Structure 1
Amino acid sequence: MTTAFSQAAFSRAPRMPQLPTMPTGWPIGSYDTYEEAQRAVDHLADENFPVHDVTIVGVEPLLVERVSARLTWGKVLGSGAMSGAWFGLFVGLLLSLFTPGAGLLPIAIGLVSGVAFGMAFAAAGYAATRGRRDFVSHSQLVARRYDVLCQPRNAENGRELLAKFNMGSHATL
């Protein structure tokens, strides 16, 4: 739901590009973590700075894959059984709701067949890897540094605000 206030606030902001484009603007700050860059932009917003002129850019992106666990047949089959059980339970509940006088039989059939199919599909997927990926991991896109850019019309003011903010935040650390 949009209000007149939110429409007015967004109408002043420049349109976001529809296709991927290179960022524009002058650097007004550079930070080691995204959290620090976000905190700097939040400070600019608190100071009533026109943040619609600001962009946070991750420089030198890296894809980091963090391995979280070893994958075994037991874990694969257990995970397949659990996901299949949830799906089978859902299908069984739907069948029991729309079949008058069916009782618990559709739920039990759905649960058992869901477990069986879940385990079968999980086993087939794991067997297809032929032991080349016996681990679970989570991927994350990170950057070496995060630059805060601002359009030239407000860059100098933004740079001064961030310099004061950075001096104040380092003094409290």
Structure 2
Amino acid sequence: MNGLYALKPWYADRLSGVRATLVRREVSPDTLTAAGVASAAGAAAALAWLPTGPAALPVAVLLAARLAFANLDGALARETGRTTRRGAVLDELGDRAADLLVPAGGGCGPRSGTSWHSREPRRCATSRGTASRSRCTAPRRAGSGPGRRSGSPRRPRRAVHGP
């Protein structure tokens, strides 16, 4: 096995004590999924609001916690016999939400010139890697002009570019 996935069994083995404690305490796998999303949201908030240097430690800790929760939720469900389709869907949705939150946090806040409360929420949420800027940037103000067209006349661009 090559790449980072080669580390997954090693990481799961390191978490076995935590997993055993969670089994004894009858913690729900859904709780761990929610904790993983909350950890990603915390990392996004740290990226958005803390200066670059001081943000490094909390972001690293929160992302490590997010990876631990992502590893533990499925393992806990399998070990306790609580695997369900709903749980599998919730796990995937939580993973995708967490994957989108962190880069969105890097594109928001006082350092980036945008914020979650700005007039441009889509620009804030899609900047810095969560989506292609050329296709998803919100207009600066409502009514800033027609969308630009590219390629086929039947296929307009999906966004108007702000300054």
TM-score, structure 1 length as denominator? 0.23
The structure with the greater share of residues assigned to strand is 1
TM-score, structure 2 length as denominator? 0.24
The structure with the greater share of residues assigned to helix is 2
Q: Flag the structure with more relative contact order, 1 or 2, with Cα contacts below 8 A and sequence separation at least 6.
A: 1
